[in-house]
Amino acid sequence: MCGIFGYVGKKTNAPKLVLQGLKLLEYRGYDSWGIGAKPISKLEIRNSKFIIEKHVGKIGDVTLNSQLSTLSSELSIGHTRWATHGGVTDINAHPHLDCTKSIAVVHNGIVENFQELKDDLIKKGHRFVSDTDTEVIPHLIEEFLKRRGFASSVRDAFNKLKGLNAIVVANAKSSEIIAAKNGSPLVIGVSKDGLYVSSDATGIVKHTRKVIFLEDNQMAILGQKIKLIILPNGSEIRPKVSNLTWKFEDAEKGKFKHFFLKEIYEQPKVLEGIATNSSQIKKISDLVRNAFGTFFIACGSASYSALAGTYLFSKIAKKHVNFAIGSEFNYLEDYIEKGTLVIPISQSGESVDVIEPVTRAKKKGAKIIGIVNVLGSTLYRISDYKILLNAGPEKAVVATKSLTAMIATMMLIAYSLVNKLREGRTLILKSSRNVGEILKDEYVGKIKKIARKLKDHEHIYVIGRGLSYATALEATLKIKEATYIHAEGFAAGELKHGVIALIDKKTPCMVFAPNDETYDEIISNAQEVKARGGYIIGIGPRNNEVFEEFLSTGDLGEATMISQIVVAQLLAYFLALERGVEDPDKPRNLAKSVTVK
């Protein structure tokens, strides 16, 4: 949520570089955007004011206004805003300025004590023009600048903020950018032509693969060199430079119209990578085997991989594991004590609803095994042990390849717990090949036909049992996110406990029917729905006369759910197109990475 991008260096087209960076961060979700730049010309510098441009809506293929597009500038900052405090307006978009219009700030997070700070600043004569919490920050810096230098003023202002925040500050009277964070992520890119700062590495990798991941309570002064200091006291430390493992081309659409579809088609390769590059699995399974107790924590699609993990550990390894949605974990943390193992699962590694409970669990003595896709993310750095999914950048808001990578990883850990890791790897390789078959044109054509039949429905129900219950929930989320159709997934055994009251003539019902011990019962449930007029779509290895539509998957035991999920992803994508969804990569009101509570 929200995207920050800045540049300072030798290049004189800084505003254009920042605009390009913001476009690369669009997937994070936003409703407005803005850019500020410091001019090079001596005449404009004498004004000591930033030149600002702000807009409501999407960046798209917009070009900057005439002043910024022709401006020679070596220093610029920009922002994509997801509204929290104040409506979606040009005025509320970032950057925000102080009274002198020389201090510009972009911000990700929530200043929990902004009203108290604002009231005090108003008493001191400061004038506010927006409804945001962010605007207190440039005014705080302006106030401190009356008594000290730029860096000290930013440090002292940031120390006054309560909550999880990241800021980037520029001063029209300085040739430096200052970045500080506590909670929300910031990454610094290091190149021979200058320094970049971004909410994540996606915005930077086009320019450099050398990065510095800013830690909580750190501040970076970016100019001719990097000065890194620890907050609140300001002692200096040596920056640690890391190298990104992926290239800019990995985050491009290539031949595909949308990232959503591209990332679906990347899954065979991702699954093959999980099976063949799983060196950490045995060590992790040993930790799980010897743990006092184990908790999965996750949100969104990752939470359904965690739910699947509880079934996989039980079925394959006869091992009990607890699971909590990240935002609910704090209400269960009384169970956590020294020796407990906590396994957070996250694509981005930046979700505040995962990071916060993990931090609390660590304080209580728990050991953390992070399952994460983004190298260098907050979750990656705070975990005691880590499994990197290596699924590559996932730009569509709707999770696809990261989710199947998570499930495959859970499967391997479960098999390793009973010393059958080789068997687990073989199963995932078979799954990779089966997904490849599903992605062939003839099969995809069948899915497109079903999507056309479903496009005018406003309700879809999805049922499953056992592992397929988790599959049903994930399929439901995909349909809701991508198509805006009301979809509800539930355990099929709950039909008689209320949900069947919603079934009427031609109500679509997707039935996940793997060839396992749940098959006969799920078919019986499907017959109950059909008897009330429901329109049954079966997904699994075996056809049945109750199905009016059938999408066959391979019979791969526990890994059948991976193929079923890929079918659901394709159906959600093509259903979104049939319904005229403007951009399936960026569903309305959603963000890829939820970094504020």
Alpha-carbon radius of gyration of the chain:
25
C-beta of residue 294 within 8 angstroms of C-beta of residue 429? no
Would you name the residues annotated as active-site residues? 2, 592
- DSSP annotation string for 509-565: EEEE--SSTTHHHHHHHHHHHHHTT-EEEEEESS--TT-SEEEE----GGGHHHHHH
How far is C-alpha 312 from the chain's CA centre?
25
CA distance 353 to 298: 8
CA distance 451 to 442: 15
C-beta of residue 192 within 8 angstroms of C-beta of residue 9? no
The b-or-e profile of 119-154 (16+ CB within 10 A means b, else e) is eebeeeebeeebebbbbbbbbbbbbbbeeeebbebb
Give, in order, the Cα–Cα distances in Å from 241 to each of 188, 208, 246, 348, 376. 9, 12, 16, 20, 11
CA distance 551 to 574: 15
For 434, how many CA atoms within 13 A lie in the half-sphere containing its CB? 23
Continuous H helices in 418-536: 421-438, 441-454, 467-483, 519-531
C-beta of residue 348 within 8 angstroms of C-beta of residue 374? yes
Continuous H helices in 146-194: 150-159
3-state secondary structure of 219: strand
Torsion of CA 551, 554, 558, 559, to 10 degrees: -100
CA distance 308 to 302: 10
